[in-house]
Amino acid sequence: MTTARIAGPPVLSRTRRRRLWLNWRGASLIVALALLVELLVQTRVVDFQYVPAPSAVIGAGWRLLASGRLLSDTGHTLSAALLGWAIGSAAGIVLGIWLGLSRWARRFGLTSVEVLRAIPGIAFVPVVILIFGFTITMEVVTILFVCVWPVLVNAVAGAQAVTAVHDDVARTLQLSRLQRVFAITLPTAVPYIATGMKLGLSTSLALAVVAEMVGNPAGLGYSIVYFQGALQPASMFAVIVWIGLLGLALNLLYELLTGRLSTVRTGLAEAR
């Protein structure tokens, strides 16, 4: 038990995760599981009517990709997710910085924010469907309403993290209020905001899928429901796996883009 730990100092989780992607053990587990299912289905040992063989899933995925349907669905889902995420994040930054800077705003606003934030975002999906109907607007509104909170909470914390020294600098330089926000508050809050936006990003994809499953009949979420109803489980599984890969790609992309901000991870880790 101890030898593993003596072998080296604890490795940072991020580098570790990167390395896991290249490890043969992890890859072989996935391949082995896929082969096992393939074997069970081909030999009809398991008699689940709706369990497709992995080869069938790959084939269905390839056909969806070749027909262009998968890519156009992806385009729809991603644009809804990213648009909602961008608008929600912008609103979260503005409101959060305001709440963080103004004592008055905190006094009169914070509890209301806490109460609204406690409502599970998913509960708003039916409300948004009622109001906006089965449109892409409905998707975007759902997503932005959920993405706003982690960014807002982190922006409040970030705005309050300005050190006394920086405050003094602002006063010495006689910066105006607006100048102070852009020169001091925002740069301090950026790592926090980046953390909040990362949480929002993965939520945005999940919510786009939900919104498409129960609301707007378009995109990847609707594809899942469609193939479920059409009794094409192989295509359904292919779309689900594709969504998972998409989530991984989004996370990686975001980490690459924000990687330059060395302090990105000092923000609040949870959306609380």
Binding residues for another protein (CB under 8 A): 1-2, 4-6, 10, 13, 17, 20-21, 23, 25-30, 33, 48, 50-51, 106-112, 114-127, 129-131, 202, 205-206, 209-210, 213-214, 221, 224-225, 228, 233, 236-237, 239-240, 243-245, 247-248, 251, 270, 272
Asked if 204 and 84 touch (Cβ cutoff 8 Å), the reply is yes
Q: How far apart are CA 232 and CA 175, in angstroms?
A: 63
Asked if 80 and 136 touch (Cβ cutoff 8 Å), the reply is yes
Q: How far apart are CA 188 and CA 170, in angstroms?
A: 13
- Least distance CB 76 / another protein (angstroms): 16
- Least distance CB 119 / another protein (angstroms): 4
Q: How far apart are CA 196 and CA 268, in angstroms?
A: 8
- Least distance CB 194 / another protein (angstroms): 19
- Least distance CB 2 / another protein (angstroms): 5
Cβ closest to another protein, residue 211 vs residue 264: 211
95-100-102 Cα angle (round to 5):
95
Cβ closest to another protein, residue 143 vs residue 170: 143
Cβ closest to another protein, residue 128 vs residue 194: 128
- Least distance CB 196 / another protein (angstroms): 15
The type of residue at 228 is Q
- Least distance CB 268 / another protein (angstroms): 12
Dump the DSSP string for 175-218. Answer: --HHHHIIIIIHHHHHHHHHHHHHHHHHHHHHHHHHHHHHTS--
Cβ closest to another protein, residue 37 vs residue 186: 37
Dump the DSSP string for 78-101. Answer: HHHHHHHHHHHHHHHHHHHHHHHH
Cβ closest to another protein, residue 188 vs residue 266: 266
Output DSSP code: residue 123: G
What six digits make up the tokens of 168? 């003094």
Cβ closest to another protein, residue 183 vs residue 225: 225
Q: How far apart are CA 38 and CA 6, in angstroms?
A: 40
Cβ closest to another protein, residue 30 vs residue 178: 30
- Least distance CB 176 / another protein (angstroms): 28
Could you give the count of Cα atoms lying within 13 Å of 11 in the half-sphere of its Cβ?
12
